[in-house]
Chains A and B, each alone.
Chain A
Amino acid sequence: MSVKPLARELRASLAFIERNFNLTKRYWKWEVVFFLYTIANSITMGFIGKGVEAFSGTPVDTNYLILYMLIGSILWGYLSILFEIVAETVAWERWEETIEYTFMAPVRRSTHLLSTCGYAILYGLLRSVVILGIVSFFFDLNLAGANFISAVGILFVASFSFIGLGVVAAILPLISPEKGVQVVHIFQALLLMFSGVYYEIDVLPVWMQNVAKLSPATYALRGMRASILEGQNFSSQWSNIWPLILMGAVLLPAGLKIFSIMEKWAKRKGVLKRSG
């Protein structure tokens, strides 16, 4: 690409990010509601961890359990935000009725989608850090042995595959104006069930464990827990890292490619916008 088209794509990219920021700002009441929901959820999970000792009657490592649950909850919160922003980008524009204007702009679809993902990552990270800060007030957490650098590394590697999943999910509202968003939510619930957000996947039946191996969230969660609970280095976690890299390398380009194929399909069928 020569300089001029590149500059245009960059401006477009910034425009998408700024638009999303403005939307978040203007719909702040929704954001607050969702934020409080996530916090309450995380705290609940933390207390479930704390309560285990009382159920079982045997002494357990409560600090470990609380952190175990909190990592699940906060990472899931991050994943949900990322997933939702990306997956609903089409649904949102359909609802605002701006979709035709966005789709007739001279900008690459990859610029459009990846900029939205970039915003989602920034927003999701910021939100997770704030949640972690608030939640830590409620529990006496011992993070002395945690390896945060390793945790950030895992999160970074995992984000590519999460974005890939988000782009794949964004296709559904593109091809089905009525049911697409609901299907995305079902997809999200399945991801929660299979990926070991609040339990080790070994507790699942074997067939479910096999499905879990296909979810990037499984490796991300495992990697985060290994880093924070056991203080493992990034470099010692190759078994979690390579599946994430592989899935990112497959899901992201495949997601973009399928999106553009389905965009053409939508333009043939006239489902980009129904009324008018």
Chain B
Amino acid sequence: MAIAIHAKNIVKKFKKNKKIVTALKGIDIDIYEGEIYGLLGPNGSGKSTFIRIASTLLFPDEGEIEIFDHDVRKHPKYVQEIMNRVSVEASFFRKLSAYENLFYSAGIHGISKKEAFNKIESLIDKVGLDRKRLKDPLEDFSRGMQQKVAIARAFMTDPKILLLDEPTTGLDPRAKKDVQKLILDLRARTKATILLTTHDMNEAEKLCDRVSIIHNGRIMITGHPQELKRKLVNKISNPTFEDVFIEFTGLSFEDAEYGKSSKEVVSA
């Protein structure tokens, strides 16, 4: 199987008010083509930072990252053409309508008006958008509806690589289920490779072929969800996936540092 995303020893530091925060401390990740890969970890552990690095928006200080053997930094355009992203914030022109936002996004991805229109038409029902409201400004949409438009925006370009940064955070249970189904559908239909972050362990277990648990900028463990659960059977009877998360984000060799960096720095 081809490797879609290959990251080796990624280090990323930020300097904020003379304080240096090391968001990623040497990340190695290999994601296979067609895989749904979960990146799980507490707030401030570095998940979004990794996603930004993969999406050409942030350059790592050290290490290398390749998308289908193309160095992300040297070939940003190649990467941008085959990639799209859904982030936790909806990120739209708030006074523009859903149509206007989607056409804009299609346009800057080089998709013609006609093609974009057909794509939107075919996505409306799949994503569960209300056709009548697509001409309303995005700021009038509920968070769940905005997120659905964000998903339509990402799917519209038929990405080979899809980065989903907490796509279901803040959605009601039905909307959440819809989105999860869409993710599985997309993968089944297009063999897209999906990198997903989420704080919902059930979702991670349900969707992901493999997950990495990241804590304080380091990968603590990687494996199939079931495999990770099995690692705990000697400690806990009937471990849930949440137990796995708690276990691997608690047993840090830098526990003391964790209290400082992840709380203070996140709010800074």
Partners in one complex: yes
Residue numbers of A with Cβ under 8 A of B are 7-9, 11-12, 14-16, 18-19, 22-23, 26-27, 96-98, 100-107, 112, 264, 267-270, 272-273, 276
List chain B residues, Cβ under 8 A from A27: 95
Question: In chain A, what residue has the closest Cβ to B91?
Answer: A97
> How far apart are B114's CB and chain A's nearest CB, in angstroms?
11
Contact A267–B57 (Cβ < 8 Å): yes
> How far apart are A67's CB and chain B's nearest CB, in angstroms?
39
> How far apart are A62's CB and chain B's nearest CB, in angstroms?
45
> Given A15-B108, A96-B94, A268-B59, are A104 and B83 also a contact pair (CB < 8 Å)?
yes
Interface size for B (C-beta < 8 A) is 38
Contact A26–B55 (Cβ < 8 Å): no
> Given A19-B104, A26-B96, A267-B59, are A12 and B91 also a contact pair (CB < 8 Å)?
no
Residue of A12, A98, A273 most packed against chain B (CB within 10 A): A98
CB-contacts of B37-83 with A (<8 A): 48, 52, 55-59, 61, 77, 80-81, 83
Contact A264–B59 (Cβ < 8 Å): yes
CB-contacts of B79-133 with A (<8 A): 80-81, 83, 85, 87-89, 91-96, 100, 103-112
Question: In chain B, what residue has the closest Cβ to A26?
Answer: B95
> How far apart are A242's CB and chain B's nearest CB, in angstroms?
37
Distance, CA A273 to CA B226, complexed state (A): 36
Counted as pairs of residues, one from A and one from B, with CB atoms less than 8 Å apart, the total is 101
Question: In chain A, what residue has the closest Cβ to B137?
Answer: A26
Contact A276–B100 (Cβ < 8 Å): no
Contact B92–A107 (Cβ < 8 Å): no
Contact A22–B109 (Cβ < 8 Å): no
Distance, CA A11 to CA B103, complexed state (A): 10
Distance, CA A7 to CA B59, complexed state (A): 29
Question: In chain B, what residue has the closest Cβ to A93?
Answer: B93
Distance, CA A11 to CA B88, complexed state (A): 28
Contact A100–B107 (Cβ < 8 Å): no
Distance, CA A27 to CA B107, complexed state (A): 22
Contact A7–B110 (Cβ < 8 Å): yes
List chain B residues, Cβ under 8 A from A98: 91-93
Does B15 sit within 8 A of A, measured CB to CB?
Answer: yes
